[in-house]
Structures are given as structure tokens and as C-alpha cells.
């Protein structure tokens, strides 16, 4: 039976989550030979500063286009966390920025709290690469796409001249996720 993996990336406008969605979908579809769809927020929610991007990855056909049984939810703001947690499936992974999301909702899911934005600023001197750090964490935690594919996809999506810092940010994310796994044990997937 074909697997279906749903990722929702949520936060605020300007956090680069649409780009992360595109990179993840292209890594899966172009470089890993999987099926993928990507969609993004629209309408008033996008006007008000909230931002949402979704990626569905499968090794079979993706008939149903909407993500409603999320495997991993990234929330970079409290508002996004509160708003989108409802669609996280039982046992799913809630990945939050530990400084922006301080009130963690209750539920039957696994919480991974990492200071993503702070790490971007402290380690790379740029809050703008927080999105790519988050992508690294998701890649490591989910294992749904290969690191190499994501790396290729990043190089094919970011502006010229910023490739190296983005790749460094990606590996920073991988490292942060590994550290979290070392401290907390493997996720139940």
C-alpha cells in the first residue's frame, strides 16, 4: 500500500515557508522520484500575516489534495500553532520554535521544541535562514526525503550567492534535530 506523508509548515508572512514547501516538494518529486503536491495559504489568512504551506508526499497517486491528517506540523508562531494543531494526527509531530511558541497545546502528539530563529541568528547571523534550518530539522525528523535531494532542491530554489549559507543552515537544522533525538530518543513514527 502506498504511503502518504503530510507536512504543514505554518507561521507568519515573510518567514519563507512557501519556499520551504516548494523545496520539499521538488526534492521529493524531482530528485527522489516520489509523488508530491504543494499548496499554500490564500485569502484573508495570507493577508493577515499568517502563512501556511502544505506538502503531501506519496509513492503512489495523490488523489485527495488537502492535508487533513498531518504527520508533521511546523509552527513558527503561537498563532499558527493554535490555529493548525487541530489537523495534526494522533501521534504526529509538532515542531515548534521554542521562543515564539510558548503555550504548547495539549494533545496526543509528540512535541519537538527547538530555538530555530535564535539558532539562525546566533549561528549564522541571519534570521532569514530560519526557514531552511526548519527544513533541515523536518528532513531529519521525518526521513521522508533524502538529505541529498533536499540539498539539490535548495540549490535550485534560493537566490544566487546565498546557496552556501542556505546549505549551512540546512545542515544546522539536521544537527539540531540530531541533538534533540540524542537527548530525547527516537520519535514514534
47 binds other proteins (CB under 8 A): yes
Residue where the block lists cell 541568528? 121
Distance CA 91, CA 123 (A): 31
Q: What are the Cα distances from residue 63, in Å, to 40, 132, 178, 183, 186?
A: 18, 29, 34, 38, 31
Q: How far is the CB of 121 from other proteins (least distance, A)?
A: 12
Tell me which stretch binds other proteins (CB under 8 A): 20-28, 84-92, 138-146, 170-178: 20-28
Q: How far is the CB of 33 from other proteins (least distance, A)?
A: 10
Give every CB contact of residue 107 below 8 A, 6+ residues apart in sequence: 85, 88
Tell me which stretch binds other proteins (CB under 8 A): 1-9, 137-145, 161-169, 175-183: 161-169
Across the chain, which distance is largest between two alpha carbons, in Å? Answer: 45
119 binds other proteins (CB under 8 A): no
Among 1, 159, 183, 188, binds other proteins (CB under 8 A): 159
**How many residues bind to other proteins according to rule CB under 8 A?**
48
Distance CA 108, CA 90 (A): 5
Secondary structure (DSSP) of 122-159: HHHS-GGGHHHHHHHHHHHHH--S-HHHHHHHHHTTSP
- What x/- string results for residues 170 through 189 when contact with other proteins is judged by CB under 8 A? --------------------
Q: How far is the CB of 69 from other proteins (least distance, A)?
A: 13
Distance CA 64, CA 58 (A): 11
123 binds other proteins (CB under 8 A): no
Among 12, 69, 146, 189, binds other proteins (CB under 8 A): 12
Distance CA 10, CA 16 (A): 10
In the complex, which residues of this chain contact other proteins (CB under 8 A)?
Answer: 11-16, 18-19, 22, 25-26, 29-30, 35-40, 42-44, 47-50, 61-66, 76-79, 99-100, 128, 155-163
Amino acid at each position: 500500500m502506498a504511503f502518504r506523508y503530510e507536512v504543514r509548515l505554518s507561521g507568519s508572512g515573510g518567514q519563507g515557508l512557501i519556499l520551504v514547501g516548494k523545496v520539499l516538494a521538488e526534492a521529493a518529486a524531482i530528485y527522489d522520484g516520489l509523488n508530491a503536491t504543494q499548496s499554500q495559504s490564500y485569502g484573508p489568512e495570507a493577508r493577515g500575516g499568517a502563512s501556511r504551506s502544505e506538502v503531501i508526499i506519496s509513492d503512489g497517486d495523490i488523489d485527495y489534495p488537502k492535508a487533513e491528517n498531518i504527520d508533521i506540523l511546523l509552527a513558527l508562531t503561537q498563532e499558527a500553532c493554535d490555529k493548525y494543531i487541530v489537523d495534526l494526527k494522533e501521534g504526529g509531530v509538532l515542531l515548534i520554535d521554542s521562543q515564539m511558541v510558548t503555550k504548547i497545546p495539549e494533545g496526543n502528539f509528540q512535541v519537538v521544541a527547538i530555538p530555530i530563529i535564535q539558532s539562525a541568528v546566533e549561528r549564522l547571523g541571519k534570521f532569514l535562514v530560519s526557514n531552511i534550518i526548519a527544513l533541515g530539522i523536518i528532513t531529519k525528523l521525518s526521513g521522508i526525503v533524502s538529505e541529498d535531494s533536499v540539498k539539490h532542491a535548495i540549490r535550485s530554489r534560493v537566490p544566487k550567492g546565498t546557496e552556501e549559507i542556505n546549505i549551512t543552515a540546512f545542515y544546522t537544522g539536521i544537527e539540531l534535530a540530531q541533538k534533540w533525538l540524542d537527548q530525547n530518543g527516537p520519535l514514534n513514527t
